[in-house]
Amino acid sequence: MILEVAILSIKAGESAAFMDSFSKAQAIIASMPGYITHSLQKCLEQEDKFLLLVQWQTLENHTVGFRGPEAYLTWKQLLHHFYDPFPVVEHFTQVL
């Protein structure tokens, strides 16, 4: 099991619009093969900062399956214009 982790910096004042778009976009990841669960978390200390956590069965479920052309294009159109800077996405595996 793999945890996808992305710290999301949203353009100032656009958090509400981002959450609205994310509420639509989340159906895309939830429908992908290998998807287990996800959550969108809002930071208490910094405005317009979020954390996206997605659990996948394998790394390739995210890096190959999810980023296939159709689903990822819709995901991008819904969400990518909110980011500044564009987020670094990393993957983790639970050790303890």
| DSSP three-state, residue 84 | coil
Q: Does 17 bind its own copies (CB under 8 A)?
A: no
- Of 29-37, 44-52, 68-76, 77-85, which segment contacts its own copies by CB under 8 A? 44-52
Decide: 16 and 49 in contact? Cβ < 8 Å.
Answer: no
d(CA 52, CA 39): 6
Choice from 59, 67, 74, 80 touching its own copies (CB under 8 A): 59
Instruction: By CB under 8 A, name the one of 39, 58, 74, 77 that touches its own copies.
Output: 39
Please state the φ and ψ torsions of residue 5, each to the nearest 5 degrees: -130, 125
Residue (45 or 69) nearer to its own copies, CB: 45
Torsion of CA 53, 58, 64, 66, to 10 degrees: -40
Binding residues vs its own copies (CB under 8 A): 2-3, 5, 19, 22-23, 26, 39-46, 49-51, 59, 90-96
